[in-house]
Amino acid sequence: SKISARPESGKTKVTFGQRAADAIAKFAGSWAFIFAFTGVLILWMIVNAVLAAKAFDPYPFILLNLVLSCVAAIQAPLIMMSQNRQEEKDRRRAENDYKVNLKTEIMIEDLYDKVNAILAKQSALEKKLDSDKHNGDSHEN
């Protein structure tokens, strides 16, 4: 039976939450996110520094600190969910690789035994031919 099929081609249905976690983890781990988030942070600080007395979050930017903490509190579990799904995919792939490797090893051992049997038969036939040839030479003399 075929065991070399891709493990992720199975019946595992991905939920909306899993897709969202994967998308967020992918975006949060990109340079685009780093640049955009850095831009937002710099803009936040500049706006609040320029507005000074009318700033919605004056220095030391306590509201920004709260926002960053909330983002981290939401982002961390989403990234971990995505990592757990990836880990499960990797585990299934490794399990499938093991099965394929085991089946390949068994097939190679079987072929090795068959080749050895063929070589043994060939050797026996060569000995018989040599024996018949020598017996034929001695009868002619």
pTM to 2 decimals?
0.60
Length of the chain: 141
| Per-residue model confidence as pLDDT tens digits over 73-130 | 999 999 999 999 999 999 999 999 999 999 999 999 999 999 999 999 999 999 999 9
Per-residue pLDDT reduced to its tens digit, 24-49: 889 988 999 999 999 999 999 999 99
Task: Report the alpha-carbon distance of residue 135 to residue 137 in Å, rounded.
Answer: 5
Q: Which two tokens stand for residue 37?
A: 């988030």
* Both tokens assigned to 70: 């909330």
